[in-house]
Structure 1
Amino acid sequence: MLIDTHAIVLSKTKYRDHDLIVRCYTKELGVVSFLLKGVFKSKKGQVKAAYFQLLSQLQLVVIYKANRSLQIIKEVRLGNIYTSLHSNVLKSSIVMFLAEVLTTAIKEEEPNEPLYSYVETALLWLDTHTKYANFHLLFLLKLTRYLGFYPDETEDNYNYFNLREGKFDAKGQDVYIVSGVDLLLLKQLLGTTFDELSAIKINSKQRQAFLHMILSYFELHLGGFRLPKSLQVFNQVFN
């Protein structure tokens, strides 16, 4: 069956000499892997490797068969066209890092329009703004809402946050407890938007510590979640 869908590129792997396997998060089908035959060999045809940069937003026509692990793309064109996401070195580092996180975090092979719309809109925000040093922190925190473990803000006056329970805590006796600066930043970020993010001042040490904390939160709540391989380089870029 032919399916027309928006898609965001999560990962790509060269296969054999001339082929490419691409993993995308699609609006209509959820996570789908595609085999692009001969994209490094022939200059003919619509499906070219250049379209499939990490987190690119595409419009695909897919020849879909439910029992096939690698689907076929019949047509591809750019959807929302970025102006800086792949040309700005710092933004490219964010793209590489977030693509790894999303690849591990999003597993569902079914549509989730709110999640798709969130990722799509957030990436467009990053593409068009110049103050984005803390974008990834808020992006990951807000992503938890769509993955099912957004922090419970009911008792946000408490002095601790329990990563395992996903809620604020009065006693702070668990091993997975957040307090101090990380707790303050968590409360600030929970109450802000991307447009207001630049008002929150975070130095590089605080940024790395909070990122470590939020990734630990992902590990606790997502089975099989792996720390991104690009994390060390990413931290150096945003040091």
Structure 2
Amino acid sequence: MLITTKGIVFSALKYAEADLIVKCFTERAGLKTYLLRGVLKSKKGKLKASLFQPLTQLELVASHKDKGTLEYIKEAKIHSPYQSLHTNVIKSTVVMFLAEVLRNSVREEEANIALYDFLEESLDWFDSHEKTVNFHLLFLVKLTRYLGFYPDDYQKDVPVFNLVEGTFQEVETNPDCINDENVSLLQRLLGTDFDELSALKLNQAGRSGFLLMLLRYYEIHLQGFHKPKSLTVLNEIYS
């Protein structure tokens, strides 16, 4: 079936001599994997390898057989051209990190319009703003809402956060309970918009520690999730 849809690139891996295997989260069909034959050598074809950089927003015309096999892209063009995400060194490092997180956490092979809209709007905001040093932290907090384990903020004024239950509580009840400055930062970020990030002041140690807590939270709630390999590069770029 031929389908026209928007899609966000999660990854593009070289296959054989000139092919790419591309994972895209599409607006109309969820996560799809495409085989792009000869795209790394083709100079005249409609598909260019440069279109498939991490988190690029595309308009796709694709053939979906929906049989669990590799699909085929007939046409692709940029939907929302970025001004800074792939040219600013810091932002491109964050993009690489977030793309790896998304690749490890989003597995829906069906449409999820709410998640797609969140990704699209968040990336557009990140691209168009300058004070974005803590963007990835709030992005990961907000993403949990669409993955099904957003923290329960009913009682968020107590000192302990239970990573297993996703709840705030008075005392620690298991080894995966947090009772430090990361709890107050999480409480502050819940309900915060990206436009309010400039008021958040964190040093590198605070930023790194909170990120490790978030990644542990993801590991607990997503089977098979592991710390991104790009985490080391991200920490270096912010050091």
Corresponding position: 1:76 with 2:89: no
Map 1:174-189 onto structure 2 (within 5 A): 174-189=174-189
Cα deviation, residue 180, structure 1: 2.1
| 1:68 CA drift (Å) | 4.9
Does the 8 Å contact 1:188/1:200 carry over to 2? no
Equivalent in the alignment of 1:158: 158
**In the TM superposition, what whole-angstrom CA distance separates every residue of 1:30-69 from its partner, at most 9, and x where no partner exists?**
1100000111122112111111010000000001112251
SS of 1:183 mapped into structure 2: helix
SS, match of residue 151 in structure 2: coil
- DSSP-derived class of the 2:9 partner: strand
Q: Which residue of 2 aligns with 1:53?
A: 53
Counterpart of 2:88 in structure 1: which amino acid?
N
- CA-CA distance at 1:191 after TM superposition: 3.2
- Report how far residue 74 of structure 1 moved: 0.6
TM-score computed with the length of structure 2 as normaliser: 0.98
What SS does the corresponding residue of 1:195 show, helix, strand or coil?
helix
Matching residue of 2:207: 207
SS of 1:196's partner is: helix
Partner of 2:11: 11
Give a deviation string over 1:83-106, Cα, whole Å, max 9, x none.
000000000000000000000000
Alignment partner, residue 33 of structure 1: 33
Match of residue 169 from structure 1: 169
**Superimposed CA distance per residue, residues 185-224 of structure 1 (whole angstroms, 9 cap, x where no aligned partner):** 1111113110001111111000000000000000000011
SS at match of 1:59: strand
Q: What is the CA deviation profile of residues 140-199 of structure 1, one whole-angstrom value per residue up to 9, with x for unaligned ones?
A: 000000000000011112111100000001112321111221011111111311000111
Tell me the SS of whatever aligns to 2:234.
helix
C-alpha contact (below 8 Å) 1:2/1:63 kept by paired residues = yes
Letter in 2 for 1:232: T
Match of 2:132 in 1: 132
Match of 1:231 in 2: 231
Q: For the residues of structure 2 that align with 1:153 and 1:68, how far apart are their CA atoms?
A: 38
Distance (whole Å) between structure 1 residues aligned to residue 30 and residue 189 of structure 2: 28
* Count of aligned pairs between the two proteins: 239
Aligned-residue RMSD, C-alpha: 0.8
Which segments of 5 or more consecutive residues in structure 2 lack a partner in the other structure?
none
2:109 aligned partner? 109
CA contact (8 A) 1:7 1:25 kept: yes
Distance 1:109 1:92 in 2: 27
Letter aligned with residue 156 of structure 1:
K
Match of 1:138, SS? helix
Report what 1:147 is aligned to.
Answer: 147
CA separation in 1, counterparts of 2:151 and 2:228? Answer: 22
Question: Within 1, Cα distance between the matches of 2:42 and 2:93?
Answer: 30
Contact 1:11–1:103 (CA under 8 A) maintained in structure 2: yes
2:92 counterpart residue number: 92
Q: What is the rounded CA distance, in whole Å, between the counterparts of 1:69 and 1:191 in structure 2? A: 40
